[in-house]
Amino acid sequence: MTENNGYADEATETSPLLVNAQSSSIIDNEAQISHLRETIELSDIADESPYEEVTANVSNQDNPMLPCLTFRSCVLGLLFTCILAFVNQFFTYRTIPIFLSMIVAQLLSYPMGKAMASVLPRRTHVLFGGRWQFSLNPGPFSVKEHCIISIMANAASGTSMAIQVITIQRVFYKHTVGYVISLLFVLSSQTLGYGMAGIMRKFVVRPAAMIWPGNLPTCALFRVLHDDENEERQNNETNVTTTSRRMSRVHFFYMVFFFQFLWYWIPGYICPVLSLFSLLCCIDPTNIVLSQVTGANGLGLGSFELDWNAWISFLDSPIVVPFWAQLNILLGFVILVWIITPAAYYTNLWNSKAMPIVSNQVFTIEGYLYNVSAVLDSNLRLNETAYNIYGQPRITAIFAFNYAIGFAGTTCILVHTCLNEGKDIFNRFRSSISDVVDDIHGTLMAQYPEAPEWWYAS
């Protein structure tokens, strides 16, 4: 094994040339570096996405020579994978869950990656007679390393619904499932989703129409952090001074991040009442009907909140969700919560007045909490005799309508998709057989090898 001091591949960020360790003088020559940066636009394709939101946030250029799977990306990726998986699963049981999205890992990994690029030794280890090279610090922290870290963190940020089955059995039914069975159950449910996504990627990923708005802020943040940095680096190397007073995207981002950090302490700790405040409820706190309709534990009519975490806990960020989708959500909320629910409750539909107006609990016909253990035997099977004596479980009117809309919505989605998108889906299926790509980003990714289909099918 031999060692080469210095960045053996420092020019890989901007050039496909393999720079030998003995030719380090080329790297030191700023004029030659600038020339290399101008001539290696490997994928400078003029085509753009037909959708403006994609064009504004996603780059249409790619440099295959940038390092991706490195020591830095593996260490930081595994670190944030463990942190996000633990924190999100631990806090998912809160009434208002705390969720750390991939954006957290994306923000924190950037300065950590830059720090590792400055601190780690700059040696290139040549193994097996030069057939394989390895370096703890292959060069400047690249956007592809940043992407692979964020992808690893995103894969672990979502909580598994299968864990709720295991925890419910342990907490409510006093039945403990073995760790091996629990692990296999959770992994099988998670890999099933990844497998289906991989098999259907020709239909739900590759077409240009498959925008997935939730990914656009992530792509925009990558460009903010790395494009401005590359532009500033090129200006410094060519001694170009910018006289414009226009604020850069990264400076604007840090400014918003700073003010958001300061504001969080006000509704979070200093004045928690701002998290959810009802002016109408304060008019007559002893009025039960007014509290049910306007209170925080009721329908919340006329309430307002200034806590960003409360906004995005259930409906995702309003910055990400398209405006037409927000209007659909708002309209459905008004009809269900502010019209149908009070009408059903105050007309005592299904004996609704015996239960709270809003609750996710299960009740008896008298309005008491339903003891599920009272109708089960020692083997956790239904005891029909005890069930007939204890009575049927009941849920609140709002949750009954919510479940009904959920079941009806599934059928509506299938019918709507077949009627409105069926022809396009059929055409996509035909084009997928011939591997026709209609997206600039799909064209850029076509130069990389695809994962075999059997990986997803298995």
Tell me the residue type at 319.
Answer: I
Q: What pLDDT score was predicted for residue 235?
A: 56
Domain boundary among 385, 403, 418: 418
The predicted-structure confidence for 416-433, as pLDDT tens digits, reads as follows 989 988 888 787 777 666
Q: Which two tokens stand for residue 226?
A: 């790395």
The pLDDT of residue 317 is above 60: yes
**236 shares its domain with 359:** no
Whether 201 is covered by a domain: the verdict is: no
Among 21-30, 94-103, 362-371, the minimum mean pLDDT is found in 21-30
Whether 296 is covered by a domain: the verdict is: yes
| Residue 90 lies in domain | 1-159+213-243
The pLDDT of residue 364 is above 90: yes
**312 shares its domain with 236:** no
Residue range 338-348: average pLDDT? 94
Question: What does pTM read for this prediction?
Answer: 0.73
**222 shares its domain with 312:** no
**236 shares its domain with 279:** no
**236 shares its domain with 288:** no
Whether 430 is covered by a domain: the verdict is: no
| Average pLDDT value over all residues in the chain | 81
**295 shares its domain with 231:** no
Whether 111 is covered by a domain: the verdict is: yes
Residue range 422-450: average pLDDT? 76
Whether 458 is covered by a domain: the verdict is: no
Of all residues in the chain, what percent carry a pLDDT higher than 70? Answer: 83
**275 shares its domain with 228:** no
Whether 189 is covered by a domain: the verdict is: no
Residue range 442-458: average pLDDT? 86
Whether 104 is covered by a domain: the verdict is: yes
**228 shares its domain with 359:** no
Q: What pLDDT score was predicted for residue 246?
A: 64
**239 shares its domain with 274:** no
Q: What pLDDT score was predicted for residue 233?
A: 58
Among 29-38, 153-162, 191-200, the minimum mean pLDDT is found in 29-38
The predicted-structure confidence for 381-416, as pLDDT tens digits, reads as follows 899 999 999 999 999 999 999 999 999 999 999 999
The predicted-structure confidence for 222-272, as pLDDT tens digits, reads as follows 988 887 666 555 555 555 555 455 677 778 878 888 888 898 888 878 888
Of all residues in the chain, what percent carry a pLDDT higher than 90? Answer: 29
**297 shares its domain with 409:** yes
Q: What pLDDT score was predicted for residue 432?
A: 63
Whether 276 is covered by a domain: the verdict is: yes
**275 shares its domain with 323:** yes
Q: What pLDDT score was predicted for residue 159?
A: 85
Q: What pLDDT score was predicted for residue 25?
A: 40
**221 shares its domain with 281:** no
Q: What pLDDT score was predicted for residue 335?
A: 94
Q: How many domains does the chain have?
A: 2
